[in-house]
């Protein structure tokens, strides 16, 4: 069963900027206009050139020995290449850098033509720092740095953000940059869907990449698709693969998901943590069968699952029955620790469910962009919030997992600690200072 995907709206205008030529993409309005403070910024895009842009790291396999990088150019670049070398305190590494040939994936949207390139660095040393750059042998990006995972359990932190979606460059940029400034040692970033408001709109992807900037090229992204990453099914050219073509073009994720969902349902292991991404808009039964295998054969102490549509919803009329009926029993049975979600454009943390077989996962829904919904159901939450842009830091150290949700200004909004028991279950301890107010009565949230 597939949901009906809403048509996405944008009023678009062309603005003149002296420093660079820009192209405007226009779309027809099809949803209620946003309040003045939430009017979407112009979809101004930079057409692809022969110089690399939209550089982004993703995991495509073994996180201790491989690393994938994707970037964009125009179609004049036919022999893309990446270079990599061990990181060094000096500047003598470029002549010794190893060349890695990249693949080409042409993409046309409207009148825009571009090519995405992906290179996979293999045979890397675990827990080791590297520098890399991408180009065509003549025109190069700057050198970026990243670090491979350890091949053993080791303390680390990662970031998680909900829907960026609207006013991405204008309003989301401050959140992802504050997140990086707060947790500069984060080793990857989970994006729980709806990265843009219209998955086929190149202007919105331009904003998303510009907002992330060098962070995307330095900290691997872990994306799960949301409903806005799917075009209207009735207009899809390929009914077997209805997700936006931008998804697979720019996110080189592990191809270990269920059939027909490779590229956007997947998993990887990272220093004692199994991370699983699901596509919450389709093939629930098929993904449940795959999820059971991935959870039942899991060598990691901690398990984190991410998908877009929440198991419990805080907005009426948005109940995700297929997700809850097909996936929640498995998440409970196999003692998943955290479930990271988006979609409802507010914040919620679940109450802890206890039972004969142990405690339930802690379910989180969050939002990082400025589009907000009203809070209509908080029966399932122990902590909620509206009209608040947030980012989350998850830190894992042995038997303890610490979760912090912070506002765009960096203030602590929610915090708790999970302690892993010998039987695989967890105990939860709230870490939020007593008296920290909830933002649940803020005016300005809008329901669409």
Which two three-digit tokens encode residue 122? 């293999």
Would you say the C-alpha torsion 280, 286, 289, 295 has a positive or negative sign? negative
pTM value?
0.88
The per-residue pLDDT for 356 is: 58
Please list, in sequence order, all residues whose beta carbon lies within 8 angstroms of the beta carbon of residue 220, skipping any fewer than 6 positions away: 57, 58, 59, 67, 146, 187, 188, 189
Burial 18-39 (b: 16+ CB within 10 A, else e): eeeebbebebeeeeeebeeebe
| Rounded CA separation 258/276 (Å) | 12
Q: Which residue has the tokens 């520098």?
A: 131
Please choose, from the candidates 261, 253, 264, 134, the residue with its C-alpha nearest in 3D space to the C-alpha of residue 199: 264
Q: Which residue has the tokens 């990446």?
A: 82
Same fold, 53-147 and 156-430: no
| Rounded CA separation 323/278 (Å) | 10
| Rounded CA separation 290/47 (Å) | 39
- Domain 156-430 is classified in which CATH homologous superfamily? Metallo-dependent phosphatases (3.60.21.10)
The per-residue pLDDT for 357 is: 66
To the question of domain 53-147 being in CATH 3.40.50.620, the answer is: no
Please list, in sequence order, all residues whose beta carbon lies within 8 angstroms of the beta carbon of residue 441, skipping any fewer than 6 positions away: none
| Rounded CA separation 241/249 (Å) | 13
Which two three-digit tokens encode residue 26? 């226009």
The per-residue pLDDT for 45 is: 67
The per-residue pLDDT for 296 is: 97
Are the beta carbons of 368 and 162 closer than 8 angstroms? yes
Please choose, from the candidates 66, 56, 105, the residue with its C-alpha nearest in 3D space to the C-alpha of residue 220: 56
| Rounded CA separation 92/85 (Å) | 10
The per-residue pLDDT for 29 is: 31
Are the beta carbons of 10 and 371 closer than 8 angstroms? no
Would you say the C-alpha torsion 82, 88, 91, 92 has a positive or negative sign? negative
Q: In what order do the strands lie in the sheet with 347-350?
A: 266-270, 273-277, 302-306, 338-341, 362-365, 347-350, 381-385
Please choose, from the candidates 221, 220, 152, the residue with its C-alpha nearest in 3D space to the C-alpha of residue 193: 221
* Mean pLDDT for back-to-back runs of 10 residues, the chain (448 residues): 38 31 30 38 73 98 97 97 97 95 93 95 98 97 98 98 96 98 98 94 94 98 95 48 90 95 95 97 96 97 97 87 96 95 96 75 97 92 95 98 97 96 89 90 54
Query: What pairs with residue 135 in β-bridges?
Result: 81, 140
| Rounded CA separation 312/381 (Å) | 9
- Checking phi first, is residue 205 left (phi over 0); if not, alpha (psi -120 to 50) or beta? alpha
Q: Where are the alpha helices (DSSP H) in 231-313?
A: 245-250, 284-296
The structural domains of the chain, with segments of one domain joined by +, span: 53-147, 156-430
| Rounded CA separation 116/102 (Å) | 10
Which two three-digit tokens encode residue 207? 């904003």
The per-residue pLDDT for 352 is: 81
């Amino acid at each position: 069963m597939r949901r009906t995907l809403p048509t996405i709206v944008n009023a678009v205008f062309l603005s003149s900027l002296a420093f660079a030529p820009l192209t405007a993409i226009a779309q027809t309005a099809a949803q209620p206009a946003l309040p003045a403070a939430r009017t979407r910024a112009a979809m101004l895009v930079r057409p692809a050139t022969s110089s690399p842009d939209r550089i982004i790291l993703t995991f495509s396999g073994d996180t201790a020995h491989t690393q994938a990088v994707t970037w964009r150019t125009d179609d004049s670049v036919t022999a893309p290449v990446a270079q990599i070398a061990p990181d060094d305190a000096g500047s003598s590494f470029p002549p010794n850098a190893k060349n890695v040939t990249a693949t080409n994936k042409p993409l046309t949207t409207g009148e825009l033509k571009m090519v995405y390139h992906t290179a996979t660095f293999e045979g890397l040393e675990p827990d080791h720092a590297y520098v890399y750059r991408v180009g065509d042998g003549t025109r190069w990006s700057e050198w970026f740095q990243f670090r491979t995972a350890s091949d053993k359990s080791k303390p680390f932190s990662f970031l998680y953000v909900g829907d960026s979606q609207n006013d991405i460059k204008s309003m989301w940029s401050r959140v992802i940059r504050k997140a990086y400034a707060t947790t500069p040692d984060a080793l990857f970033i989970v994006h729980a869907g709806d990265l843009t408001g219209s998955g086929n709109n190149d202007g919105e992807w331009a904003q998303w990449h510009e907002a992330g900037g060098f962070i995307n090229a330095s900290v691997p992204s872990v994306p799960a698709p949301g409903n806005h990453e799917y075009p209207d099914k009735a207009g899809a050219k390929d009914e077997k693969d209805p997700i936006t073509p931008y998804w697979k073009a720019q996110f080189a994720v592990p191809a270990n998901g269920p059939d027909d969902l490779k590229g956007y349902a997947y998993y990887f292991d990272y220093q004692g943590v199994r991370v699983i991404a699901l596509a919450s808009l389709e093939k629930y039964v098929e993904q449940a069968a795959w999820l059971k295998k991935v959870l039942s054969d899991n060598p990691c102490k901690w398990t984190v699952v991410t998908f877009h549509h929440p198991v419990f919803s805080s907005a009426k009329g948005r109940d995700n029955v297929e997700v809850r009926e097909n996936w929640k029993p498995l998440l409970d049975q196999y003692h998943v620790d955290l479930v990271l979600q988006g979609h409802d454009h507010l914040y919620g943390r679940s109450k802890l469910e206890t039972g004969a077989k142990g405690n339930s996962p802690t379910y989180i829904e969050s939002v990082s962009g400025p589009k907000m919904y009203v809070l209509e159901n908080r029966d399932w939450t122990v902590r909620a919030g509206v009209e608040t842009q947030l980012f989350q830091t998850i830190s894992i150290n042995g038997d303890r997992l610490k979760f912090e949700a912070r506002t765009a200004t960096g203030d602590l909004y929610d915090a708790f600690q999970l302690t892993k028991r010998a039987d695989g279950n967890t105990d939860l301890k709230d870490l939020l200072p007593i008296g920290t107010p909830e933002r649940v009565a803020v005016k300005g949230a809008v329901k669409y």
